Structure 1
Amino acid sequence: MVTALLLGTALTVLPSGLFAQEKGGIVDVATIGEPPTLDPMSSTADLVGIVTQHIFETLYTFDKNWNVTPLLADSLPDISADGKTYTIKLRTGIKFHDDTDMTSEDVVASLARWEKIASRGKQAAGFIASIEAADPATVKITLTQPYAPLASLLAFNNSAAIIIPSEKQDDVMKDFIGTGPYMLKERKADQYIQLTRFEGYKSRAGESDGYGGARHQYLDEIRFVPVPDPNTRVEAAVSGQYDYVDSIPVESFDKVKASASTQPIMLKPFGYPVFVFNTAEGLNKDVAVRKAIRQALSMEDMMAAAFGSPDFFSLDGAIYPEAYSWHTEAGTDGAYNVADPEGAAAALKSAGYNGEPLRILTSRQYEFHYKMAQVAAEYLKLAGFTVDMQVVDWATLTQRRADPKLWDVYITHSPFLPEPALIGSLSTSSPGWWNTPARKAAVDAFTSEVDPNRRVALFADVQKAIYDDAAFMKIGNFNAVAAKSTKLEGVDPAPWPFFWNASITK
């Protein structure tokens, strides 16, 4: 089993025995907006995963050290000596929210749907020969060749391999029935998503461990409320209007800290902002144009505009920071933070650029995305680009980015993921559609290698291919800030905050 090899960052977990958590109560969570869907297979949006991880579960998840750990599976997979057969024992006595029993039939049907509609399922599908039910509590996955990221892909809550009833496998999900500790009671668009405790839930035994281990159900309800404007989220945090406020601008840290009812929480380092290029159609199909964009931009100015103080960001072209075993500088020399719009203008001229609009898709719901876009636009204009900035809500952005005819660059961000193969842009079906011989050679070699040390070395080739092809641009490293009520217990800093262990002190 290949796990994450993360040396620096773990989910911060406080000893649960320090306080007695009380049962009951309702928690209101302010999110950055309305999720585009509640089907986590069909979306890579973090917002979708944050909400739906309470409703749906996967075979595996990640512990506090980012190791793959069982969730609906009874144990880690038994992998054959040749690395091609995964035998997965399932937990028994698991109920869906419709009170039916989960069996291997449901798992096989769900993984087939995942291969068909999820970008990460499609990524794995090329390596999967068959998925079969060996008996009611055992699933066997046969691969065409060893594929090291499989367990991590099955554990990820993003484009997630959720397990749902075999008879509920419509391409467009109609019934939101999972096995999770909370179930969907009501959704009112742009108002709230209301989850209530699932009384038939069967938690794992033992201690809570990151996303793994025991999942408690102290709360009666969890309500996710869209609050798209970041300044409104800050004021709501200061006033104590919500129990938890996700993704607030870092410059509000001191203001929230001064509040009597709410305190800031920071995940350090959280991840990196990224400009994703549309390599399939339009202006950025030309790698020379993509490289000219990269050459023009000042990553330092964008990060400063987005995060203000260096307390909240650092410049770093490597996909993973130095604290991670995946860290490498391959490909970054002369290609990161160049800030040379004049040189970019010359490169654009050589590429035959004729003034076509460069369509940059962004949203103000993540205010730092928008601030980076503003700085980028000015540098790109200096390089001679005609910039068409398209500012939309996040749900619209996640829909629009799926159509290669509608954009050239979109701005997003990613946490530092435990397995590099989880990086969305490495999949040819992910928006951006990076698909070159260099990508295939580097990524295939990386994902088929099972030796952990060798995989670290091969990731350097992947990063070099990312830079050589200008598949996407990492802007830097940043810390994420959220806020939680002083009465809210059991919620620790995490890339996708979860509330199954949360409680309210009375």
Structure 2
Amino acid sequence: MVRKSSRAAGSGGQPSSRSRTTTLVALLSCGALALSACGGSSPTPSSSAGPDARGGTPQAGGTLTVALSSIPPVIDPYATTLQANWQTARSVCEPLFDISTRYEVKPVLVDSYQYDQKLTYVMKLRSGVKFHDGKDLTAADAVASIQRFLLTPGNGAVLGTNLESVKETGDLELTLTLKQPSAIVPTLLTTAYIMPASVQQDRPITEPANDLICTGPYKLASYQADREIQLVRYDEYAALDEPGDGATGKKVAYADKIVLTPMPETSAQVQALQTGSIDMTSALPLDTYQTLASSSTAEPVLLSALSGSTVVFNKAKGAMSNVKLRQAFLAALDQTQIMGAGFGNADFYDLDGSIIPKVNATFYTTAGAEAYNKPDTAKVAQLIKEAGYDGKPIVWMTTKADPTWYGPVEPAVQLLKTAGLNIDLQVMDQASLIQRRTDPSQFDLFSSGIPTYADPLLLPYLQDGFPGAWTNPEKNSLLSSLATEPDNAKRVQLWGQLQALIYTDVPFLKFGTTRPLLAVSPRTHFDNADALMYGYYNVWLQDS
């Protein structure tokens, strides 16, 4: 089976042993956890045509100035687990595969690859690709980068557990041999940014490569931790011919220079945008939308719904270890009311029962979601009675640090109390919540959030060891099949079965999916707002 660079990446083969597959599945979820953290006028979502000022004919030139909440102390993506620190790497570096705005995994530095649906991937690199130091990309560079990638947490650790060897089998060819079949090797490699072997070879993870010699459309001009980063166009960049989409396809460095400047306060970012000091903000609270919409010098940009607001139940002990009581929670919640009260304007969120949001066209499914947003007072009363609930306080840990976590909490608590459930809401800082959720004696449920993943195997909630302890044998069997099934259509069906199980066993529940908010100056233009999450290429400046 040969995969060309214009097609989405595929999946794995058949399991060699149940025990090793179960271990791999647990690590997959662990990897995802490490990467993810461990009224007014109506906005226009990016899925519809935005204001004309953002379109037009692309043109080169100018300096694009972007405000970040902070300039990270480390910009080497191998030396940090925080994706927020990868802003520079996304525009400067490229992996073998990357992700489109529809969460399709596609080749980037790979020209084509073969997978025998068992244990072997053979990948051929694109010819004519040059690093920022002028040297040609070779298989030796890819092998050295992957070997260092294996030392990282998250996707690197997952791949390392299942990788028997990675070898250079030609100037532009590398071969990966697995210990057991895997459906998502290309997906795991989307965070393995390729650098020269001279940079990556034998470099400890504790020794960051902050010069970032890569293959991307921009190259690093200067980096001052906590102060500023400057990028300049790389004129020798080898772009793909396919239309640009997220981090895939053609990437064009329209701006001569990109300046990333630290601005931790939201109000400072908004003011700087209004005064013309910057051209783009980082993610902003949704409650700043109206201020931006009423300004003549700033334009709000709502992206597709990406972040699922959730709550996770303690299945190991306490009241919520009873599945009947978890089902009662689900039946008590009017998500239309909850999301409306929590986030205001209905264009800020989607009422969407799919665990994987609509933006991921491959794995979006309504399987089991007929139970979503179906409040039923009589059903709640019956389930509470069957659970034998005695009215003891049910401890819900939450935090105001993340609006997507806290937004649904207060309206949901009111509905649950009306239904007869005695909720003890405990609000704390995010670090305390993350620490306390590891102790089952400390809580009955806790607030959380699900970012959008390219593959459901990366969802941390699905692992046995994630706080809340969902140890369901049927779940683990479906995960094992999902991890090793080579046919993508069958994998989609398996995920549908697993989502249906989630709605039956209710290990966690989703309130809805919110839209990230950015803001840009009137002179900042782009074809696809969702692509702004992937890098600063394909963005141009046009003064009126």
Normalised-by-shorter TM-score class: 0.7 to 0.9
Distance in 2, matches of 1:144 and 1:434, equals 27
> Which one has a larger percent helix, Structure 1 or Structure 2?
2
Match of 1:420 among 456, 468, 472: 456
TM-score, L = length of structure 1 = 0.77
Cα displacement string for residues 64-104 of structure 1 (whole angstroms, at most 9, x for unaligned residues): 6654333222x131222x44321111245655567776543
1: distance between equivalents of 2:149 and 2:524?
A: 35
| Distance verdict in 2 for CA 1:322–1:206, change over 3 Å | closer
Q: Which residue of 1 aligns with 2:498?
A: 462
**Alpha-carbon separation, structure 2, partners of 1:298 and 1:33:** 38
5+ residue gaps, structure 1, are none
Match of 2:367 in 1: 330
Quote the Cα distance in structure 2 between the aligned partners of 1:262 and 1:153: 37
Residues 105 and 454 in structure 2, CA contact (< 8 A), matched pair in contact too: no
Distance 2:134 2:313 in 1: 44
Match in the other structure for 1:171: 205
Does structure 1 retain, via aligned residues, the 8 Å contact 2:8–2:105? yes
Single out whichever of 236-245 and 334-343 deviates more from structure 2.
Answer: 334-343
Deviations along 1:354-402, one digit per CA (max 9) or x if unpaired, are: 65854324524xx44433344445556773233221245xxx69x9579
Aligned residue for 2:537?
Answer: 500
Give the secondary structure class of the aligned counterpart of 2:193.
Answer: coil
Q: Would you say 1:121 and 2:156 are equivalent positions?
A: yes
Structure-2 separation of matches of 1:77 and 1:147: 15
Counterparts of 1:292-311 in structure 2 under 5 Å? 294=330, 297-311=333-347
Equivalent residue for 1:53, pick from 66, 80, 90: 90
Residue 346 of structure 2 aligns to a residue whose secondary structure is coil
Q: Which residue of 1 aligns with 2:174?
A: 139
Structure 2 matches for 1:386-397, cutoff 5 A? 386-392=424-430
Cα distance in 1 for partners of 2:248, 2:49 equals: 13
What is the CA–CA distance in structure 1 between the aligned matches of 2:170 and 2:146, rounded to whole Å? Answer: 16
2:510 is aligned to 474
Q: What amino acid does structure 1 have at the position aligned with 2:363?
A: W
> Are 1:287 and 1:469, in contact at CA under 8 Å, matched by a contact in 2?
no
- The one-letter amino acid of 1:148's match is A
Highest Rg: 1 or 2? 2
Question: Deviation at 1:194?
Answer: 0.9
Give the 3 Å change call, closer, same or farther, for CA 94–329 of structure 1 in structure 2: closer
1:342-363 deviation per Cα after TM superposition (whole angstroms, max 9, x unaligned): 8599589857996585432452
Kept in 2: contact 1:54–1:183 (CA 8 A): no
Q: What letter corresponds to residue 401 of structure 2 in structure 1? A: S
- Paired residue total: 485
Give the Cα separation in 2 of the matches to 1:44 and 1:475: 27
Distance 1:249 1:183, change over 3 A: same
Residue number among 23, 26, 35 corresponding to 2:61 in the alignment: 23
Q: What amino acid is the match of 2:397?
A: R
Aligned counterpart for 1:448 among listed residues 467, 480, 484: 484
Q: What code does the residue aligned with 2:498 have?
A: V
Structure 2: how far apart are the matches of 1:198 and 1:362? 40
Could you tell me whether the CA contact under 8 Å between 2:233 and 2:256 is conserved in 1? no
> For the residues of structure 1 that align with 2:294 and 2:317, how far apart are their CA atoms?
48
Identity of aligned residues (%): 22
Deviation per residue, 1:165-208 (Å, 9 max, x gap): 3236423352232413232732443xx54132264863324355
Say if 1:489 and 1:502, in contact at 8 Å, map to a contact too.
yes
Do the aligned partners of 1:358 and 1:388 also contact (CA within 8 Å) in 2? yes
The equivalent of 1:151 in structure 2 is 186
Is the partner of 1:305 in helix, strand or coil?
Answer: helix
Q: SS at 2:529's partner residue?
A: coil
Quickly say closer, same or farther: Cα 1:93–1:334, change in 2 above 3 A: closer
SS in 1 for 2:91: coil
Deviation of 1:134 after TM superposition, in Å, equals 1.6
The unaligned stretches of length 5 or more in structure 2 are 11-45
Q: Is the 8 A contact 1:491 1:499 kept in 2?
A: no
Contact 1:318 / 1:327 at 8 angstroms: preserved in 2? yes
For 1:237 and 1:447, how far apart are their aligned partners in 2? 45
Change (3 A) 1:66 1:333: closer
Q: Partner residue of 2:355?
A: 319
**Structure 2 matches for 1:46-445, cutoff 5 A?**
47-63=84-100, 66-73=103-110, 75-80=111-116, 82-92=117-127, 94=129, 102-125=137-160, 127-155=162-190, 160-164=191-195, 165-167=199-201, 169-176=203-210, 177-179=212-214, 180=216, 181-183=218-220, 185-189=222-226, 192-197=227-232, 199=234, 202-206=237-241, 208-210=243-245, 211-230=247-266, 233-250=269-286, 252-267=288-303, 269-275=304-310, 277=312, 286=321, 288=323, 294=330, 297-320=333-356, 324=361, 326-334=363-371, 336=373, 338=375, 346=384, 350=388, 355=393, 357-364=395-402, 367-376=403-412, 383-392=421-430, 400=434, 404-405=438-439, 409-415=446-452, 417-426=453-462, 436-445=472-481
In structure 2, how many angstroms separate the alpha carbons of the residues matched to 1:262 and 1:314? 25
| Separation in 2, partners of 1:227, 1:443 | 42
